[in-house]
Every structure is written in C-alpha cells, then in structure tokens.
Amino acid sequence: MSYNAYITEETIEGDGDGPLAGRTVAVKDNISTDGVRTTAGSAMLAEYVPPYDATVVERLTDAGATIPGKTNMDEFGMGTTTETSAFGPTENPAAKGHVPGGSSGGSAAAVAAGEADLALGSDTGGSVRCPAAFTGTVGIKPTYGLVSRYGLIAYANSLEQIGPIAPSVEEAAELLEVIAAPDENDATTRAAHEEIGGENPDDMREYSFADAADGDVDGLEIGVPTELLDGADEDVVETFWDAIDELESQGASYHEVDLPSVEHAVEAYYVIAMSEASSNLARFDGVRYGPTPDYEGNWNEEYAKVREEGFGEEVKRRILLGTYALSAGYHDKYYKKAQDARAWVKQDFDSALEDADVLASPTMPVPPMERGESLDDPLTMYLADANTTPVNLANLPAISVPAGETSDGLPVGLQLIGPAFGERAIIRAGSALA
C-alpha cells in the first residue's frame, strides 16, 4: 500500500563506511539537499532545487547513510496532521483512516511502514514527537542548539530543531549521535561540554547517546505535571499511567509537579511562531523565491498574486495572524506578552527539574484524529499541541516513545522531558519502554 510518505523519491548515496552504512534515512522535505528538489510541502517551492546540502545531510552521507527520498509534510511545517501539504495527505500505517501526525508525518510514516530504516524531521512545537506518538515510533526533539539548523527552511527560528525518528530508542539515539555537534554555519549551535560542565573541548562523550539506551531506570525520579493531564482523552490518560506503572516496576518512582505557566503556553507559542513565520516567509515573493510571476500590473499586485496562489490556507492564516501581532500598536499587547510567558514557562520547567530527573506526560492529549477531522477547525488542531509546545518554548529536549494503545487500538505516546542537554537522561528512561 502507498502511504504517500514521500514527495520526491530520489536516492542520495552515502560515502562509504560509517556508523550508518547500509541504512536508509528518509529526510523531511524542508531540509535542503544539493541538486534534489526541496519543496517544504508547498506549491510555492514545487520546483525549488537547493544548491547546497544542509549540515545534517552532510553528516548523514559522511556517516554512510543512503537517503531514499524527501518526505511529505504539512506546508512549511504548519500543521499537526500532514494534511496541509500541497502534495496531498499522508496515510498512517499504524492506524488506517487516521492522520500520521505532523508536521513530520511523512518521515514517521516512512519508518512505521518500513519504507526507511530511520528518518529526520523538524520539531517547532511537537512536529517530531506528535507523528512519532501517532505512528507508534520513537521521536526525539533535541535541546535547542544541539543540532545545526543550517539548511533547514525556516518556520520559527527560535523554536525549531531537527530530530530523529526511528523504530526504537537506541536507533534514534544512534542517529542523534551522527547529527549532533556544533556547526560554524549555525551560530545558535552550542558545544554540549560547555553547557553540562565538561572540561575538555575535545572530549566528545557528551555526544554519545546510544550507550545511554540501556533501559536502567532504577532510582530514576519522574515528575508528572498534572496540568498536562487535564482535559486529555481518558484512554490516553489510562495508557499513560500504565506506562508510568511499568517504569515503577523497573525501579523508577514518580511525584506530581506543578507547571502553572503551561496554561498560557499554547497561546504564547502560536503568537511567537506565527510572528516569526510572517517574517521568514516574506522572502517567498516570486523574485527571491517562488515561481516567477507572469502577470501584467504593478509589482505589489504581482507579489500578492504569487503569494495567493503559492501558499495554502493554513500558511496564509498564520502569516496574517503573525503580521498582525507584530504590527504597530499590537507588538507589546501580543508579542511582548508572549515572550514574557515564554520566560515563565522556562522558569517553571527548570524549577520542576530540580527535583526530578525527567518529566513525563502523554505526548499528545488525544489519539490520532480521523483524516479530515481537524481541517475545518484550526483551533482544535492548535490545542492538540498543548503538551508539546511548552518544551519548545523552554528549549528543552524531549522524547516520545510508544506507551501502548487505546481501547480502539490507536497508538499513544509517552513524552519524557529532560533538562537542557539532558538527552542521555530521556534516552535512558525511554529505552526502558522501547
């Protein structure tokens, strides 16, 4: 069966031997590949061919990986279902008739269907973790700055990170080892040894993640934010507690924690993300990027027509809302308040992690939606990100691992959140389940 996981199926061969030799890694179609079409799921970039590779692509091929193609995604990463792609929706191999999550739904579907061994996605507000949860795979959103964003078509620069999707925690960790490390082309990348107290800049043990997937959770202290359970589907909550019980049976313990700021996280996230999107997507005008206009009239009219025809409805909605939030007279009312809320979210997470090794919640408050269910109700789609967006606001690492299934057989994910550059902690905890 075809799941429409790929937009472009053009193979990029790896360079000889390496840790990923003989393995295929699908790449989300907003990550630049030299000489291979990269569309970001948009008609605006339907024929765009980058002249360079993203840093993560260089690291994949240097490690010997073969890239079998570029995967489908919500247009410019804006969506939770992979239904806003200009190239059609992606099917969920793990739940027929339901969405695979988004915006990295094509990457997760390719792994879940066995069409790729591993995959890369990008996570702005949950876009790696959501599809991992909905397809029964593993997805890691790294700490902001651990993985280079050079060559990633930007949606919201201060929030997004490239991360791995894999069938197991160990395989996801192996892929993270390959793509993590500072990059001179991305000034936001940071050396992990500086952040976690390492003394030797040449000591790369901080980038060794696969050996942490040993399943040893004896003595692990888990914090459970009660706010991230409020309003969640009953089946999802029950499956979540079953997973916590399993971790307890292996020696972990848990306590409840309060994160009062997350009540405002979704609103703050969308104000910030849409504002950054309105700026980033200004370049798609038919002159710098996008189809060359073939209209008669003044430049403003041609510019408007290119964007009207090139962008989908969800992208246009977010550009309009972001532009409004940044406009004169409203910047302080919306954008500044959202940044204040962001600082509050980070403070709450840092405080909660002082007494816990990791925090745990359902990855998504709902099981996979039926196809078409949320397209006419954008607010429902936005609220589905309630458990994932706070992590991006706080720039922390998180992993989604399979927690089980609902009574209807739909996949449920468990999200584990760690301190900054605490990838090893979430990988160790997650490997006890997957």
Q: Looking at per-residue confidence, does 374 or 348 come out higher?
A: 348
Segment among 2-6, 78-82, 298-302 with least mean pLDDT: 298-302
The pTM of this model reads 0.95
Average pLDDT over residues 220-248: 97
User: Within a domain: residue 144?
Assistant: yes
Residue of 32, 85, 122, 127 marked active site: 127
Strands in 25-28's sheet, in edge-to-edge order, are 6-8, 70-71, 25-28, 118-123, 161-166, 138-141, 398-405, 411-417, 358-362, 221-225, 253-257
Query: What pLDDT, in 10s, does the model give residues 300-340?
Result: 888 888 999 999 999 999 999 999 999 988 888 999 999 99
Strands 6-8, 70-71: pairing kind: antiparallel
- The contacts of residue 327 (CB under 8 Å, 6+ apart) are none
User: Within a domain: residue 233?
Assistant: no
User: Within a domain: residue 27?
Assistant: yes
**What percentage of the chain exceeds 90 in pLDDT?**
86
Residue 359 has pLDDT above 80, yes or no: yes
Indicate if 103 belongs to the active site.
yes
Q: Looking at per-residue confidence, does 245 or 329 come out higher?
A: 245
**Closest to 365 in 3D by CA, of 234, 245, 249, 273:** 234
User: Within a domain: residue 19?
Assistant: yes
Query: What pLDDT, in 10s, does the model give residues 252-289?
Result: 999 999 999 999 999 999 999 999 999 999 999 988 89
Indicate if 141 belongs to the active site.
no
**What percentage of the chain exceeds 70 in pLDDT?**
96
User: Within a domain: residue 348?
Assistant: no
Indicate if 85 belongs to the active site.
no
Mean pLDDT of the chain: 94
User: Within a domain: residue 425?
Assistant: yes
Q: Number of folded domains in the chain?
A: 1
Longest Cα–Cα distance in the chain: 71
For the chain, state the CA radius of gyration.
20
Which spans in 180-227 are helix H?
192-195
- pLDDT at position 276 is 97
Average pLDDT over residues 208-225: 96
Residue 202 has pLDDT above 50, yes or no: no
**Domain with 210 in it:** 6-217+396-432
**Closest to 321 in 3D by CA, of 254, 378, 385:** 378
Residue 16 has pLDDT above 70, yes or no: yes
Average pLDDT over residues 106-114: 98
Residue of 32, 42, 85, 103 marked active site: 103
User: Within a domain: residue 362?
Assistant: no
Q: What is the CATH number of the domain that holds 407?
A: 3.90.1300.10
- pLDDT at position 205 is 44
Segment among 20-29, 327-336, 362-371, 389-398 with least mean pLDDT: 327-336
Residue 95 has pLDDT above 70, yes or no: yes
User: Within a domain: residue 269?
Assistant: no
- pLDDT at position 291 is 87
Asked if 287 and 237 count as a contact pair (C-beta separation under 8 A), the reply is: no
- pLDDT at position 413 is 98
